[in-house]
Amino acid sequence: TEIWRSSWYVPCLASLETLQELCRKENLTCKSIGITNRSLKSYEVEYLCDYKVEEGKAYYLVKWKGWPESSNTWEPRKHLNCPLLIQNFLRDKNEYLSRGREGKAMKVRNHVKTLKPAIADYIVKKAKQRIALQRWKEELNRKKNHKAMILVENTVDLEGPPVDFYYINEYKPAPGINVLNGITTGCECADCPAEKCCPKEAGFILAYNKRKKLKIQPGLPIYECNSYCRCGPDCPNRIVQKGTPYSLCIFRTNNGRGWGVKTLQRIKTNSFVMEYVGEVITSEEAEKRGQLYDNQGNTYLFDLDYDSDEFTVDAARYGNVSHFVNHSCDPNLQVFNVFIDNLDLRLPRIALFSTRTIKAGEELTFDYQMKGSIDLTSDSAEGLSPSKKRIRTVCKCGAVCCRGYLN
């Protein structure tokens, strides 16, 4: 739970159970913590915590939605009408047994069969994780400004949503940095592209073909029609500004790479997939943060070095789905600089396009070296000042052509 004050958050130090108990005591509702008018007056199973067989009857320990854990009660199996929750309970129990060396799940104590405490504890943690990830998914889909869905999945460990990450749809500039300037007019095309369409006015060709797929080579900029242009939303030169067109899933990787992103739909070659957004900061500030991130083994800094190296995008705390896209030395996404409502060459938008056909269910990756980071091979690192020498992060992409390090 957070208290919103202008542009920053204050985390609430009270536990979820404490807040729920307070709401019930004061007869208040709060949907974000599960207290609704319905739950104030009724009992609904939130998840199942434990299991026992007593005198031949099966019982489940029930956590009631909107009630603190101190209100948990043992209920006969025949009184419960929650088949999905029972299914989750049994799946989590079997998953624990398959991973561990606990042997049989049941212990007999005075003719009462019970689960071992370690198993019950794991089941509760999985139930809480499932609820937290569901709430996070709902939050992401409330905040996104594109039509495609965002899913969240973790079948690997007990990790929940990131604690200090806030979803944004566009750049969040640091004080003194203006990411919306330089545009006062747009093209007058009735049917883009025409002779004086935006790309041609900037001295470049239209980036897209008739199928709205990328047709330019990496390194060339993309100039899309802007908010001053006469053309409408169906203009073939408005692609990146419409947002991610594909439903994506943030998932937990099983090889120690943390979270990753996979597509839920087939993506054709040269298609726009997503934009890389975050805080826009100065390169000096980026250098300071980079030292900290390297010590943590994180890489979220993206240098805006199309024309100069004055600014950097930091997606560590503020970002979109691209925050979770992993590195690969053999990626399926390519970086392009995009100009729409800002023609300042120091502040391009960063778009990720597919380099090949990507199957549904396949992980999305891009090469972190495309971020314009310093080449820290053994030869080049020797001449750097102490502030420029950074801890090298081992690459786990698994590609045949893997370079061994992310930076």
- The span from the CA of 124 to the CA of 50, in Å, is 8
Please indicate whether residue 276 is annotated as part of the active site: yes
For residue 353, what are the contacts with CB-CB under 8 A and spacing of at least 6?
214, 270, 271, 272, 273, 333, 334, 336
Residues 6+ apart with CB under 8 A from 217: none
* Residue ranges of the binding site: 187, 189, 192, 197-198, 225, 229, 231, 235, 257-259, 326-327, 329, 368, 395-397, 402
**301: nearest Cα among 368, 222, 391:** 368
Distance CA(307)–CA(35), nearest Å, equals 52
Q: Which of 161, 159, 158 is nearest to 150 (CA)?
A: 161
Range list of β-strands (E), 248-385: 248-252, 259-263, 272-276, 279-282, 301-304, 311-314, 318-319, 326-327, 333-339, 349-354, 365-366
Contact assessment for residue 278 and residue 350, using Cβ atoms and an 8 Å cutoff: no
CA distance 216 to 174: 32
368 catalytic? Reply is yes
Residues annotated in a binding site for S-adenosyl-L-methionine: 257-259, 326-327, 368, 396
Contacts of 396 (CB under 8 A, 6+ apart): 255, 256, 257
Cα–Cα distance between 398 and 363 in angstroms, integer? 13
Which of 363, 322, 299 is closest to 170 using CA atoms?
Answer: 322
- In the DSSP assignment, the letter for residue 397 is -
The residues, any chain, with a CB within 8 Å of residue 229's CB and separated by 6 or more, are 186, 187, 188, 189, 192, 198, 235
Query: Would you say 106 and 114 are in contact if contact means Cβ atoms under 8 Å apart?
Result: yes
* 3 state DSSP class of 275: strand
CA proximity to 62, closest of 52, 70, 50: 50
Point out the catalytic residue in the list 47, 246, 276, 293.
276
Report the greatest alpha carbon distance in the chain: 88
Helices (H) and strands (E) in the chain, counts: 7, 22
> Which residues are part of a known binding site for Zn(2+)?
187, 189, 192, 197-198, 225, 229, 231, 235, 329, 395, 397, 402
Contacts 24+ apart (CB under 8 A), 115-118: 115/50, 115/51, 115/52
| Residues identified as active-site | 276, 368
